[in-house]
Amino acid sequence: MQIFEKAPAKINLSLDVLHKRNDGFHEVEMVMTTIDLADRIELTSLESGKITIESESRFVPNDQRNLAYRAAKLMKDQYKVNEGVNIFIEKNIPVAAGLAGGSSDAAAVLRGVNRLWNIHASYDELAELGAKIGSDVAFCVYGGTALATGRGEKITKLPSPPPCWVVLAKPSIGVSTQTIYQALSLEKAVHPNTEAMIKALHMGNFYGICAEVGNTLENVTMKLHEEVGQIKEQMRQAGADAVLMSGSGPTVFSLVSQDARAHRIYNSLKGFCEEVYMVRMLGYQEKTC
Ligand SMILES: C[C@](O)(CO)[C@H](O)COP(=O)(O)OP(=O)(O)OC[C@H]1O[C@@H](n2ccc(N)nc2=O)[C@H](O)[C@@H]1O
Ligand SMILES: Nc1ncnc2c1ncn2[C@@H]1O[C@H](COP(=O)(O)OP(=O)(O)OP(=O)(O)O)[C@@H](O)[C@H]1O
């Protein structure tokens, strides 16, 4: 049997870091939403009981280090499944970009093998398991728009933003999340107003959302990689309604309501960056098992 799962990228509309915890992680408040830039996951059941990974991308490991492998292994162990699975990853989301590509692949595998192996676990159970793989996996299990707290694994659903264009540009560098969190100095940090962002989402106020975007990690990554600041400036000048770095970076996104402006931003970045995307937000979808 073979099934498919879509694994969409996320952007952080706001990302606040509150304090460093005793376990080494940081307590965060993040408003995240999924966008229509997605990997495609193909799952084929294997009677041998093995978990195998295939991908045409040279940037992702095709062994136990792949987050998708870890997701399948966790499900197999937790629910004592004899069957195996071959996981083919069509990689469209840039890697180490701040877009949760690996986390979304892992979440898609959790959802996918749940169906493939007839496990019937709830999304809450999958999210709890996913949190063992990485801080962004729980959010990626549900998708849509949500507030993520704790180290990112506690999810509260939110209304999705009004439809708009999201133009993304990734400079040709990869960023390690751990390095950025380590370089963060909380005394000098800038904090977004999460409450105001949530209020703007509840009101469906696009310009209110644009006014509240903010990311505590942005200054840290920008100091290490000047390309982030340069892309932000270029997007602003080309008429973006809001501009922000996603996650720990280095991808920068802009929110744009008008088609013509979105095209202008896309075209102005195309000569500057190899990886530029113009996509829609993905609306909130109620998912049940
Ligand atoms: C920056 C974000 O992408 C925003 O969505 C996430 O917070 C990162 O999520 P992720 O890539 O799933 O990160 P993880 O694999 O869980 O953690 C990678 C490393 O980032 C640091 N980390 C991550 C999350 C968090 N709340 N505090 C941290 O300090 C830790 O050093 C950790 O070892
Ligand atoms: N399926 C996968 N897709 C992408 N990267 C993977 C995958 N599995 C493991 N990795 C490894 O994870 C690292 C981070 O990749 P990823 O694309 O998830 O980063 P990211 O977009 O910055 O994530 P986040 O926004 O959650 O911090 C890479 O170095 C990559 O080798």
pTM equals 0.96
Q: Which long-range contacts (CB under 8 A, 24 or more apart) does 122-129 make?
A: 122/289, 123/287, 123/288, 123/289, 127/153, 127/155, 129/74, 129/75, 129/78
Asked whether the predicted pLDDT for residue 288 surpasses 50, the reply is no
Confidence grade of residue 283 (pLDDT, cut at 50, 70, 90): low
Q: Is the CB of 285 under 6 A from ligand 1?
A: no
Q: At what angle do helices 123-130 and 101-116 cross, to 10 degrees?
A: 130
Q: Is the CB of 25 under 6 A from ligand 1?
A: yes
Domains for the chain: give ranges and CATH numbers.
2-157 (3.30.230.10), 165-280 (3.30.70.890)
**Strand-strand pairing, 51-55 and 84-90:** parallel
pLDDT at 285 over 50: no
Angle, vertex CA 48, rays to CA 47 and CA 49, nearest 5: 90
**Which residues fall in the annotated binding site for ATP?**
94-104
Share of the chain above pLDDT 90, in %: 92
Residue 176 CA to ligand 1 centre (angstroms)? 9
% residues pLDDT > 70 (the chain): 98
User: In whole angstroms, what is the distance from residue 87 CA to residue 65 CA?
Assistant: 13
Environment class of 111 (CB within 10 Å of its CB; exposed 0-12, middle 13-18, buried 19+): buried
Residue 188 DSSP one-character state: G
Pocket of ligand 1 contains residue 254 by CB under 6 Å: no
Which residue's CA is the closest to the ligand 2 atom numbered 1?
102
pLDDT at 272: 85
Radius of gyration (C-alpha) of the chain in whole angstroms: 19
Q: Which ranges of the chain does DSSP label H, i.e. alpha helix?
A: 67-78, 101-116, 123-130, 137-142, 177-183, 194-203, 206-212, 218-224, 226-237, 259-270
> How many angstroms is it from 152 CA to the middle of ligand 1?
8
Query: How many CA atoms lie less than 13 Å away from 179 in the CB half-sphere?
Result: 12
Query: Which token pair is 19?
Result: 């304090």
Catalytic annotation, residues: 10, 136
Question: For residue 33, which ligand has an atom nearest its CA?
Answer: 1
The distance from CA 191 to its chain's CA centroid, rounded to whole angstroms, is 20
- Expressed in angstroms and rounded, the spacing between residue 270 Cα and the centre of ligand 1 is 30
- Residue 11 pLDDT > 60: yes
Pocket-forming residues, ligand 2, beta carbon under 6 Å: 60-61, 65-68, 89, 95-103, 105, 136, 177, 247-248
Contacts of 127 (CB under 8 A, 6+ apart): 137, 138, 141, 142, 153, 155
pLDDT digits (tens, 9 = 90+) for 127-172: 999 999 999 999 999 999 999 999 999 999 999 999 999 999 999 9
Q: How do residues 238-247 score in pLDDT, each as one tens digit?
A: 999 999 999 9
Residue 289: its pLDDT value, please? 33
Pairing of strands 51-55, 252-256: unpaired
Does the Cβ of 250 fall within 6 Å of ligand 1?
Answer: no
Residue nearest atom 14 of ligand 1, based on CA coordinates:
134
Specify whether the CB–CB gap between 55 and 69 falls below 8 A.
no
Residue 99, beta-bridge partner list: none
Q: Is the pLDDT of residue 286 over 50?
A: no
Average pLDDT over the chain reads 95
Taking only the tens place, the pLDDT of each residue in 37-95 is: 999 999 999 999 999 999 989 889 999 999 999 999 999 999 999 999 999 999 999 99
Whether residue 170 has its Cβ less than 6 Å from ligand 1? no
Binding residues: 94-104
Q: Token pair 């699975």 is at which residue?
A: 85
Beta carbons of 7 and 20 less than 8 angstroms apart: no
